[in-house]
Chains A and B, each alone.
Chain A
């Protein structure tokens, strides 16, 4: 074959259909926005019922995570996500979907090496690097505190 990888890349670019961003981006905006509004509703409802502000924030996360796990188990989350894209990926419900779908999928390999070790296949990096970044921030706070 006398085709160079560079030329082939150009051929591919010409042959491949583009993502339909004019649909995808508005859909992500809509779905993501609605999930955030749902979060805001839950938060306001909880504070209205007298739950203290910070606790209400944590409860909101727990409830959203629960809803996401339920929809994932029923196989609905994936069906919505097909259209919503980043709109269902970026909210905390997307994180819960990553955890739940990995857990359900690994069930056939048992509780320990299946569910136990594979539950964080997708969400693990988020926790690891989020925590690591926060520790770096903590170290900087400590150092600034010592020298300033």
Chain B
């Protein structure tokens, strides 16, 4: 059983491995600086489907297939699947999983879903819920734009703080038995953190306090300093949220600047691709974790890594009611090789 070092700060006592992982992305993401790292880049943003929602489901489904294929597992050999996305009722995940017939727990953590899935999955496997689980997530620019903002062909101007929802998906096969894969050693479950940001066009700022809270609790709870890690990676804070996180961590007495990366900043070339403050969405952190960071751990480029996926738990309805946007961030500690 996992050992609680502090409230929500857990150390796994039996290893759970990220045995296989896959990432699929859309055209714009494929044209970005990380374009080479995805298993597949689909040029058709409809993914051959009729609607955007179906397109996102299709993309997520394919990502899960690819991850299972790499793990050499058939759907019936997966004990549990944890998935979520941004769309109301998590439909991208439920429709993507329809053909699989795998025991499923749906998650909603907005853009923090990749980490939430890995946290929940590894804890369940460790507790004896099975041997293999899949954690998956996706986001699609057009489904998110429709649900949270304006119609696609509406001529609105995006403010400089706005982020670009990535059309991307990531899936990880968690396994108790593999050995030569990145290992999940600890997790930190995030708390809802809200410092009163009401601007739906400034998600990075809404999420940064949650990331800072989770990271601080992790460092304090485990007693490990930031220097113990080769990389500290956030999911989609973007340019502004990233800057705010570094500031907030400095105020807590932690300097993480030299090892800090944000998937939202890495995903696009802001000047060339006109993405303003960077990428966002569940698929942003999910696809770069699965397409870039976990492979880099496997090839020895990174030995110890903290992955934090941050979520802005935004509801257009509550924002219209004048409410601020609560943020959350879940953390996963990955280690590769011997201690």
Contact = CB atoms under 8 A, between A and B. Distances in A.
A20 to B, nearest CB: 7
B150 interface: yes
Contacts of A20: 160
B155 A78 contact: yes
A13 B146 CA distance: 28
A57 interface: no
22 contacts: A1-B195, A1-B209, A1-B212, A1-B216, A9-B196, A15-B240, A16-B160, A16-B202, A17-B240, A17-B277, A19-B160, A72-B155, A78-B152, A78-B154, A82-B158, A94-B155, A97-B154, A97-B155, A101-B151, A104-B153, A105-B146, A106-B151
A11 interface: yes
A76 B192 CA distance: 41
Contact of B196 (A8, A24, A89, A121): A8
B150 A122 contact: yes
B72 interface: no
B66 to A, nearest CB: 27
B117 to A, nearest CB: 25
A5 interface: yes
Q: For chain B, which range describes its interface: under 10, 10 to 19, 20 to 34, or 35 or more residues?
A: 35 or more
Interface string B280-311: 00000000000000000000000000000000
Contacts, number: 100
Interface of A: 1-3, 5, 8-9, 11-12, 15-20, 24, 72-73, 75, 77-78, 80-82, 84-85, 88-89, 94, 97-98, 100-102, 104-106, 108, 121-122
A78 B155 CA distance: 4
Contacts of B248: 1, 3, 11
